[in-house]
Amino acid sequence: VLLKCDEWYQRSDGRFDASVGKLTQLWRASRRLRRLPTQEQITQAQLHSGWHHIQLHLGQQQVQVHDPEVQIDLGGIAAGYMVDRAYDRLIQTGLNRCLVNLG
């Protein structure tokens, strides 16, 4: 999944970024509290976000996170990834057509 995150980060010129967990967490808390985060809170979350903090070591199957405060949020890619893998598996069994629904 992280390889796909990296691929989509590159393909989208940084518009897709799975390392925004701090921002996601901040906005979820804000919604729960019914209060907008302060600019200081947003700035702090942004400091600990960004795919540039993530380095994938493919040969060793390792991930290096250069900022221990970074949180990866797979919510924007995980369901689609699972659908793609399920579809691939079903096609390998010889099906001509199939529908995968994770809803």
pLDDT digits (tens, 9 = 90+) for 69-103: 999 999 989 988 998 899 899 989 988 888 888 77
Query: CB–CB of 39/26 below 8 Å?
Result: no
pLDDT score of 101: 81
**Above 80 in pLDDT, residue 43?**
yes
- How far apart CA 33 and CA 37 sit, in angstroms, is 10
Provide mean pLDDT across the span 19-34: 97
Q: Which residues contact 61 (CB under 8 A, 6 or more apart)?
A: none
Q: From the CB of residue 11, how many other CB atoms can be counted at a distance below 10 Å? A: 10
